[in-house]
Amino acid sequence: LGSARSLVVSGDSAASPALSRLRSLRKPVRSPLASERSPCGRYAVGAERGVRWLSMGCYQTKEEGVVEASSVGLTAARKAQKPAGPLSREEINQRLTTCDGTRQFRIGDCNVRFAFRSQRGYYPDQPDKENQDAFIAITQFMNDENMALFGVFDGHGREGHLCARFVADRVPRNLSNFLARKLGFAEALHETMVLTNQELHADDSIDDQLSGTTAIVVLMHGNFCYVANVGDSRAIVSQARDENSSRVMAKALSSDQTPYRKDECQRVKACGARVMSMDQIEGHAPMHENWGDINLGEDLDEGGDPPRVWSPFGDYPGTAFTRSIGDSLAEELGVFAEPEILTREIHPHDKFMVVASDGIFEFLTNQSVADMVNEIPDPLAACEACVEESYNLWLRFEVRTDDITMIALYLDVDEGFQPTRASVRLDDMQIGGVRPVRRVMSREKKKIISTTDEDEDAQEGDGDDEDVLDMEALAVPKTEEEKSRIRDAVRMNFLFKHLTDEQLEQVINVMAKVPVTAGTVIIRQNDKGDRFYIADSGVYEVRVASTPAEAQAAEGTPVHTYMATDTSHPGFGELALMYSHPRAASVVAQTTGLLWALNRKVFRHVVLRRNRKALIKTMKSVDVLDTLTVQQLQRLCDIMKEETYTKGTKIVKQGQVGNCMYIMASGTATCQIKDGFGRKKDVLQLAENMYFGERALLNEEPRAADVVATSDVRVLTISKALFEECLGPLQDIIKADRDRRERRALLHNDKIPLEEIQLSGTINLEAGAMDIGEWVSGSAADGAGVTLRILNKTAVEAHGLSKTVECCALVARELQDAKDVGEAAVQRIQASEGICLPQFTYKDENRVYMLYKRSIAASIQDILEGEIAPPEDHILYIARCIAHSLVALHEAQAVYRSLSLDHVFIDNSGYICLADFGFSKWLPGAEQAFT
Domain 611-736: give its CATH code: 2.60.120.10
Beta bridge partners of 801: none
Kindly list the domain boundaries of the chain, sorted by start residue.
Answer: 17-428, 458-608, 611-736, 748-922
Q: Which of 460, 805, 703, 715 is nearest to 599 (CA)?
A: 460
What are the backbone dihedrals phi and psi of residue 603, each rounded to the nearest 5 degrees, phi first?
A: -60, -45
Give dist(CA 564, CA 572) in Å, integer. 12
- How many Å apart are CA 39 and CA 177, to the nearest integer? 10
The CATH superfamily assigned to 17-428 is PPM-type phosphatase domain (3.60.40.10)
Euclidean distance between CA atoms 892 and 12, whole angstroms: 34
C-alpha count within 13 angstroms, C-beta hemisphere, residue 873: 0
pLDDT averaged per 10 residues, the chain (length 931)? 28 35 33 34 29 40 37 43 66 86 93 95 85 94 95 94 96 96 94 96 93 96 95 92 76 90 89 85 64 38 71 88 94 94 91 94 87 91 91 81 95 86 44 54 52 39 48 84 85 65 83 93 88 91 88 87 86 73 86 91 66 73 77 75 88 88 89 81 87 83 89 88 77 74 60 62 47 72 77 72 70 67 71 78 77 81 78 90 88 80 82 82 61 51
List of residues 6+ apart from 477 with CB closer than 8 A: none
The whole-number pLDDT of residue 407 equals 97
CATH for 748-922, options being 1.20.1250.20, 3.40.50.2300, 1.10.357.10, 1.10.510.10: 1.10.510.10
Instruction: Give DSSP secondary structure letters for 229-292.
Output: EESS-EEEEEEESSTT---EEEEESS---STTSHHHHHHHHHTT-EEE-HHHHTTSS-----GG
Asked if 123 and 157 touch (Cβ cutoff 8 Å), the reply is: no
The 8-class DSSP code of residue 498 comes to T
β-strand partners of 422? none
Q: CATH says 458-608 is which class?
A: mainly beta
Region of 771 (left: φ > 0; alpha: ψ -120 to 50; beta: rest) is beta
Asked if 693 and 681 touch (Cβ cutoff 8 Å), the reply is no
Whether the predicted model's global pTM rises above the 0.85 cut: no
Q: Please spell the DSSP secondary structure of 167-206, one letter per residue.
A: HHHHHHHHHHHHHHTT--HHHHHHHHHHHHHHHHHH-TTS
Q: Report how far apart, in Å, the C-alpha atoms of 882 and of each of 430, 605, 886, 887 are.
A: 45, 42, 6, 9
Residue 525 makes CB contacts below 8 A (sequence gap 6+) with 543, 544, 545, 551, 554, 556, 582, 583, 584, 585, 586
In this structure, what DSSP letter does residue 704 have? Answer: S
What is the enclosing helix (H) or strand (E) of 884? Answer: helix 872-891
Task: Count Cβ atoms within 10 A of the Cβ of residue 256 and give its class: 0-12 exposed, 13-18 middle, 19 or more buried.
Answer: buried
**Whole-number Å distance between alpha carbons of 298 and 480:** 41
* Alpha helices in 756-871, H assignment, sequence order: 793-798, 802-814, 818-821, 823-831, 860-864
Q: Answer yes or no: same fold for 458-608 and 611-736.
A: yes
Integer Cα distance of 804 and 788 in angstroms: 17
Tally the C-alpha atoms within 13 A of residue 619's C-alpha that lie toward its C-beta. 27
As a whole number of angstroms, the distance between CA 711 and CA 330 comes to 61
